[in-house]
Homo-oligomer: A and B are copies of this chain.
Amino acid sequence: MPNTPVLTIAGTDPSGGAGIQADLKTFTAHGCYGTSVITALTAQNTTGVQSVQSCPPEFVAQQLRSVLEDLGIQSIKTGMLFDSNVIRAITDTLRTHFGTNMPPLVCDPVCVSTSGHTLLQPEAVDDMITELFPLATLITPNKSEAELILSTRNLPSTITNLAEMLTASEVLLTLGPKAVLLKGGHVTSSIQDVSELAVKHPDLTVIRDGLLEENMEILQISEEDLTSRPLVVDVLRDTENVTLFLRPRIDSTSTHGTGCTLSAAIVCALSRGVSLVEAVRLGTAYTHRAIETAAPLGSGHGPLNHMHSITLRSIPKPTNTVPHPFTRSLIKSTAGIWKEYVEHEFVKQLARGALPRECFLHFVKQDYLYLRYYARAYGLLVAKSSTYSAIDNATKTIINVINEVQNHKAFCAQWGISEQELESTIESPSTTAYGAYILDVGLQGDANRLLMAVAACLLGYGEVGLWLKKESLKPETWVLTEGNPYAKWMEDYGGEHYQGAVKLGIETIEQMAEADPPSPARLKEWTSVWEKCTRLEKGFWDMALGLL
């Protein structure tokens, strides 16, 4: 998240759909750090404005100073400003603080609520024009705001079609802002209107981001052709260029706070330093989707869905105090079966030195067969790797497995079992199930999924080794270290060499989850592979104890 500090100066909406509340939601949904200076309080909801409470101008200025003097604000929007004194308090404070280094400032010239409530005193419109517009990078009036502003100056003010919007934007630009976005939500346009205008004004840029563009014929076979539908066309004009933004009109009642949301979204884009045209393109696209994806809420004009641009993380990012959140999540979400595996009766008997010799030998023989699958799985992982370091890591694991197999052979030789006997051992179904499953995961999925399949074995034996070591160090331990025929086995898995491999394994899966944060669906898939392998590990020791 960029976490860039941005500011809204506006009124409030307790119902959360408009005002600074909508702005803060929009900021957060863009990953920006939101700050907000309140110019007036309202009591409102989706049915309208019930009441307005003013805020002393000096207190507005004080809030603004508190924000500006402490946080490096990168872009600003203004919304409801209530009256002339508030406007002057704001512009004086901005000018004093920034001088000629004003960051991008978007002025949404809010005047009257949809329900007809006055949000800017009529006599203050002139102050907004003379005081605020000259500071503005962009003003974003809708049809009625533009008409009110123009009529205040006794300028031609009727806006009923796209051609008149073009003219009005030209006049509005003469009032001082660096650019004008005249919003077309209350003017119905068609693609014909756009084509006709484009003929008359060949330097017009048309952005059809909301419609199908060139070389997208294949999408038309499954999509309705929206080009012929009534369009919303926003007109952006600065001193050099005019740009039209086209999108289909949406039939929705979830439109409360549309203007607030659009200007806030533009501010987020501007804070990243993109061009004004790109900021408006991004802002209109965000707002369009926020209207279209909104679920009904309240009994009137509902709020937009500000959260369409974000998803909830399924795994937190690593921090100093929780450096391995993904491994924790795996262990916690399968705690029961994980415990049955790592504290298995086989392990306990082994640690007490009480495990029947034939059980252990059966286990070692089957493990010899299993490790061949396991080494092959890492071979598959090499083939699936994208970097030399991943190829190197997986290859080293194959070498480790081959060394482990040498240990098995040496061990078996001590107990009178030849390599030939090892090789001719009949494979238990538990061994086949586990080995073949890992290779199947490797065939079916990508490197990440295969890493999940090999993790339960690597990490589980490490956990057993450390657990037994810890238990053996307790004053009245149940672990038999001296004279235990399986002491070397315990030492190996609790020892530095094997634990180094475990550590590398943990770092690898943590990096994978951080580099490519899994969606809930994919986390479920990863966890399910991990859980299945944990069960197969438990089954492997069940098999060894039962000699099946």
Contacts and interface: CB of A to CB of B under 8 A. Distances in A.
Interface string A275-306: 00000000000001100110101111001011
A250 B319 CA distance: 11
A384 B445 contact: yes
A338 interface: yes
Given A28-B307, A220-B466, A516 B519 contact: yes
A449 interface: yes
Contacts of A517: 311, 519
A532 interface: no
Contacts of A444: 383-384, 386, 446-447
A389 interface: no
A56 interface: yes
B217 A463 contact: yes
Given A45-B66, A69-B45, A293-B319, A215 B342 contact: yes
Contacts of A221: 462, 466, 499, 502-503
- Residue of A20, A46, A383, A462 with highest tally of chain B CB at under 10 A: A20
A214 interface: yes
Contacts of A21: 20, 24, 34-36
A248 B445 CA distance: 38
A33 interface: yes
A59 B41 contact: yes
Nearest to A339: B215
Interface string A499-537: 100110011000000011111011000000000000000
Contacts of A28: 24-25, 28-29, 306-307, 310
Given A33-B297, A506-B222, A59 B51 contact: yes
Interface stretch (A80-88, A172-180, A323-331, A367-375): A323-331
Nearest to A343: B215
- Residue of A220, A317, A339 with highest tally of chain B CB at under 10 A: A317
Interface stretch (A11-19, A138-146, A189-197, A350-358): A11-19
Nearest to A288: B321
Contacts of A342: 215
Interface in A214-239: 214-223, 226
A413 B220 CA distance: 35
- Residue of A16, A28, A328 with highest tally of chain B CB at under 10 A: A16
A12 B46 CA distance: 22
A70 B43 contact: no
A123 interface: no
A339 to B, nearest CB: 5
A467 interface: yes
B63 A41 contact: yes
Contacts of A462: 217-218, 221
A53 interface: yes
A461 to B, nearest CB: 10
Contact of A310 (B297, B313, B499): B313
Contacts of A250: 320-321
A307 B1 contact: yes
A379 interface: no
Contacts of A34: 16, 21, 25
B62 A43 contact: yes
A297 B5 contact: yes
A309 interface: yes
14 contacts: A14-B38, A15-B35, A16-B34, A25-B28, A46-B71, A50-B66, A51-B62, A216-B331, A219-B506, A288-B321, A289-B322, A308-B313, A444-B447, A515-B521
Interface of A: 1, 3, 5, 12, 14-16, 20-21, 24-25, 28-31, 33-38, 41, 43-47, 50-51, 53, 55-56, 59, 62-67, 69-71, 210, 213-223, 226, 247-248, 250, 288-289, 292-293, 295, 297-300, 303, 305-313, 316-317, 319-324, 327-328, 331-332, 335, 338-339, 342-343, 383-384, 386, 443-447, 449, 459, 462-463, 466-467, 470, 499, 502-503, 506-507, 515-519, 521-522
Given A41-B59, A45-B69, 7 more contacts: A15-B66, A41-B41, A43-B62, A53-B56, A216-B328, A309-B312, A384-B444
